[in-house]
Structure 1
Amino acid sequence: MGRIKIFADSTCDLPSSWIQDYDIGIVPLYVTFDEETYRDGIDLETEQLYRKVTEQGRLPKTAAPSPNDFIQAFTPFINQGQQILYISLSSELSSTYQNALIASDEFHPGQVTVFDSLNLSTGIGLQVMKAVRAAADGKSVPEIIKLLDDVRPHVETEFVIDSLDYLYKGGRCSGLQNLVGSLLKIRPVIKVIDGKMTPAYKIRGPREKALNQLVQNVMTRVAEMDNDLIFITHSLADEDAVQLRAALQAGTGAKDIVISNAGCVISSHCGARTIGILYTKAIS
């Protein structure tokens, strides 16, 4: 068969220049305010999302692409004789993975392969880039899946959420927790464990303390890292991202430390000024 086309969805949060340069297919998720539905990253950008939340006083709903969305995205490349490898948002967080599987059944066996990243944001992006580079090296789909199976449990995804406000609006904490958290300046840290967003710990005090803790957590694991690529992914926290990159450049020796922006779906669940560091541990 022909060459392999790597697909992801809009929650992978890869820089747009990388998506273009590496010819990565993207299937957008949906963001809905009342009767208005937008494609993540196409019809709606993150800054627009926040303006709408401020105007309406509530969060949007988010939705997975339908099986037909995947079929329409994959078909042109299948018709060109290419194989599709789609790396999805965690099946523990969305029906995106399941809908892609349904779509894959509409094609001949082997034409479309769906892989569950069990992650989100650039935790997906790290796996996508491993697949892209493996495909460029001439690896087959089964070989790339074997690689991804090995990489997936070694992806470290850790975010600091700046405010409990979006967790409250999304029904993931109570009004009292939101009030107390705001008064005490409590910032939750979220990790992805077994494909789920898991509260790891809380940091009380100024934002700088939380950012320093993120960096220190990485520094304690430098010896375990694969030293290839680190993502700093954020939602409207540009200055902090630049500062984190400088700290990581000085302390990790990573080949590439890339700043990326969180899209609308991720931002709608976490809120403005959320920032995370994502990397892969070396495979022993």
Structure 2
Amino acid sequence: MRNVQIITDSTSDLSLELLKTNNIDVVPLYVVFEEHTYKDGIEITTEDLYKKVNDTGELPKTSAPTPGDFHEVFKYHIEQNKDILYMGLSSQLSTTIQNAKIAASEFPEGRIEIIDSLNLSAGIGLLALKAVDLTKEGLNVQQIAAKIREQLPKVKTFFAVNTLEYLQKGGRCSSVQSFIGNMLKIRPILKLVDGKIILHQKTRGKREKTLNALIEEILKDKDLIDLDRMIVNHSLAPEDAVYLKEELEKALSIKEIVFLKAGCVISSHSGPQTVGVMYNVR
């Protein structure tokens, strides 16, 4: 039986250390500022992105890897006599999955499994780490893909957004909503549902109130949460993310809470001081 190579895209937000330790390969999305195009996480960092936004007053565009980008990565691993399991950014948010399927169709049937995560950011990362766990059980690529597909509706992804400005600039809410929201200090809690980002809850007032509302929301699943692994993710909000991590560790007997920094794609839509929590339910 051939070894299975796990591949994801750069929106999974897994750290270089985790990617290396778990032998996960990544196909980067693109970040576009006017005439300049950068590979997410390779040619531009989140800090670079925010600096460019501050300098220009404009948000970048993001674009999917091309079928050619996928073909190059897939070809390398196929030539290493590996089967491939790829999972990427929700098809409701990007053409990334579509382009991966186009590339996969150029290889022998059964060698590449493409999974639409119906998620984003470290929600994808959580699935990728689960796939790595399954490779260690000696399962083949089809068996792993089947188990991951069963897992898709069990992944919960929440984000607490500090400002509506980036959502407004990215077309996620109107300028009037953004103005009123910022005047009233409204901080949304967003949730992934069926591969789409929805407004789950509005909070007002101090930042701590928003974080506690997010914790309260997560603890509604207290008796259902898979305690093996949870992810706390942030975009230039390390103190808030540490607070979330510590409070969740107090409330739940989680074996591992993975602490990550959000990449350019999620940051370009959510803005600085965004925090996220991703976990599985049984």
- Counterpart for residue 217 of structure 1: 217
TM-score between the two structures when normalised by the length of structure 2: 0.98
Write out aligned runs for 1:108-123 (5 A). Answer: 108-123=108-123
- Counterpart for residue 55 of structure 2: 55
Structure 1: any 5+ residue segments left out of the alignment?
none
* Residues 64-96 of structure 1, C-alpha deviations (whole Å, 9 max, x = no match): 000000011111111111101101111110000
The one-letter code of the counterpart of 1:271 is G
* RMSD of Structure 2 on Structure 1 (CA): 0.9
The one-letter code of the counterpart of 1:261 is K
* Residues 112-171 of structure 1, C-alpha deviations (whole Å, 9 max, x = no match): 111111000111111111111101210111211221122110100010110001011112
The one-letter code of the counterpart of 1:231 is I
In structure 2, C-alpha distance between the alignment counterparts of 1:249 and 1:174, rounded to whole Å: 37
In structure 2, C-alpha distance between the alignment counterparts of 1:177 and 1:219, rounded to whole Å: 29
* Residues 10-50 of structure 1, C-alpha deviations (whole Å, 9 max, x = no match): 00011221101011010000000011000000000000000
In structure 2, C-alpha distance between the alignment counterparts of 1:126 and 1:176, rounded to whole Å: 36
* Conserved? CA contact 2:113–2:142, under 8 Å: no
The one-letter code of the counterpart of 1:120 is L
In structure 1, C-alpha distance between the alignment counterparts of 2:29 and 2:80, rounded to whole Å: 25
In structure 2, C-alpha distance between the alignment counterparts of 1:175 and 1:141, rounded to whole Å: 46
Structure 1 residue 178 displacement after superposition: 1.3
Write out aligned runs for 1:1-80 (5 A). Answer: 1-80=1-80
In structure 2, C-alpha distance between the alignment counterparts of 1:205 and 1:182, rounded to whole Å: 11
- 1:142 and 2:142 aligned: yes
Write out aligned runs for 1:1-284 (5 A). Answer: 1-282=1-282
In structure 2, C-alpha distance between the alignment counterparts of 1:171 and 1:134, rounded to whole Å: 38
Moved over 4 A (4+): none
Larger mean CA deviation between 209-218 and 63-72 belongs to: 209-218
Structure 1 residue 183 displacement after superposition: 1.0
Structure 1 residue 236 displacement after superposition: 0.4
The one-letter code of the counterpart of 1:75 is K
* Residues 86-114 of structure 1, C-alpha deviations (whole Å, 9 max, x = no match): 01111110000000000001111112111
The one-letter code of the counterpart of 1:144 is I
In structure 1, C-alpha distance between the alignment counterparts of 2:59 and 2:66, rounded to whole Å: 22
SS at the partner of 2:2? coil
In structure 2, C-alpha distance between the alignment counterparts of 1:172 and 1:21, rounded to whole Å: 36
TM-score between the two structures when normalised by the length of structure 1: 0.98
Structure 1 residue 220 displacement after superposition: 2.3
In structure 2, C-alpha distance between the alignment counterparts of 1:72 and 1:16, rounded to whole Å: 20
In structure 2, C-alpha distance between the alignment counterparts of 1:117 and 1:174, rounded to whole Å: 28
The one-letter code of the counterpart of 1:146 is A
Q: Report the number of matched residues.
A: 282
In structure 2, C-alpha distance between the alignment counterparts of 1:93 and 1:176, rounded to whole Å: 24
Structure 2: any 5+ residue segments left out of the alignment?
none
SS at the partner of 1:239? helix
In structure 1, C-alpha distance between the alignment counterparts of 2:124 and 2:84, rounded to whole Å: 17
* Residues 186-234 of structure 1, C-alpha deviations (whole Å, 9 max, x = no match): 0111100000011112111111100001111122211101111111111
